[in-house]
């Protein structure tokens, strides 16, 4: 009989930033179904939705807690990680999912928008990664998954702030990987394309049809498909994959 290798995250402690809704929530639920303990991070403005997510997680029979913190604020993140470790004993998995978007043309560049996007999308993952690495290095185990984007791979009109932040995140992924590979820590990135979320569905129907017509698979991705990819990279069995970027775009970028 063939030996079956399963993806294992049972009893692993996963800290998911921006985990109260959207893709972050999908990742939290997927990890919980595989037996992980979930530390949901979000900002105070999203507290109600985040608490609802925590209740959903607990109904699945796993331990889950909400930790409010702005990922762009170092002191807040450091305090959050201390509290997560006090509550769960350790952090095994970090998913840097929290992100914001501001559209704008570069020749009309708005510095305030640039700085806002960079603070959450790039500075945030740096601060969060730096906060969990000491304990991960000490325990000799860690999985870090960064949410990059299709916009980091191809030029998309009007996405200069967002694309640059997500491209920088790929660079952070690779350096984190190479600096921590001997400590049992992997760091990889996901680069999703267009996802079927509430935010995406706010665009006019004719615009959505144009976008879908360009995707070889002929549809947007479901949040669960991104979550399953995150699960793959967060699992014990992915120890030989580090510094990689996994594209999830239906063939739009190959």
Residues annotated as catalytic are 162
Nearest to 147 by CA among 203, 90, 214, 227: 227
Rounded to an integer, what distance in angstroms lies between the CA atom of residue 240 and that of residue 234?
Answer: 12
Gap between the Cα atoms of 17 and 4, Å rounded = 32
End-to-end CA distance of the chain: give it in Å, rounded: 37
Q: How far apart are CA 111 and CA 251, in angstroms?
A: 33
Print burial letters for 135-169: b (CB count within 10 Å at least 16), e (below 16): bbbeeebbbbbbbbbbbbbeeeeebbbbbbbbbbb
């Amino acid at each position: 009989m063939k030996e079956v290798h399963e993806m294992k995250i049972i009893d692993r402690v996963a800290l998911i930033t921006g985990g109260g809704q959207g893709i972050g929530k999908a990742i939290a639920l997927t990890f919980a179904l595989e037996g992980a303990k979930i530390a949901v991070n979000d900002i105070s403005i999203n507290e109600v939705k985040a608490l609802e997510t925590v209740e959903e997680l607990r109904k699945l029979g796993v331990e889950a807690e909400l930790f409010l913190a702005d990922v762009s604020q170092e002191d807040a993140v450091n305090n959050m990680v201390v509290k997560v470790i006090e509550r769960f004993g350790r952090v095994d998995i970090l998913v840097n999912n929290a992100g914001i978007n501001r559209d704008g043309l570069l020749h009309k560049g708005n510095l305030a928008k640039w700085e806002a996007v960079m603070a959450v999308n790039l500075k945030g993952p740096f601060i969060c990664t730096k906060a969990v690495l000491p304990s991960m290095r000490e325990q000799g185990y860690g999985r870090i998954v960064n949410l990059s984007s299709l916009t980091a791979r191809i030029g998309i009109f009007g996405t200069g702030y967002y694309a640059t932040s997500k491209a920088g995140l790929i660079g952070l992924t690779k350096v984190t990987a190479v600096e921590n590979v001997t400590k049992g820590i992997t760091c990889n990135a996901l680069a999703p394309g267009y996802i079927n979320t509430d935010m995406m569905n706010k665009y006019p129907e004719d615009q959505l049809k144009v976008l879908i017509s360009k995707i070889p698979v002929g549809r947007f991705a479901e949040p669960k498909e991104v979550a399953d990819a995150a699960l793959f990279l967060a699992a014990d069995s992915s120890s030989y994959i580090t510094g990689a970027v996994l594209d999830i775009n239906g063939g739009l970028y190959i």
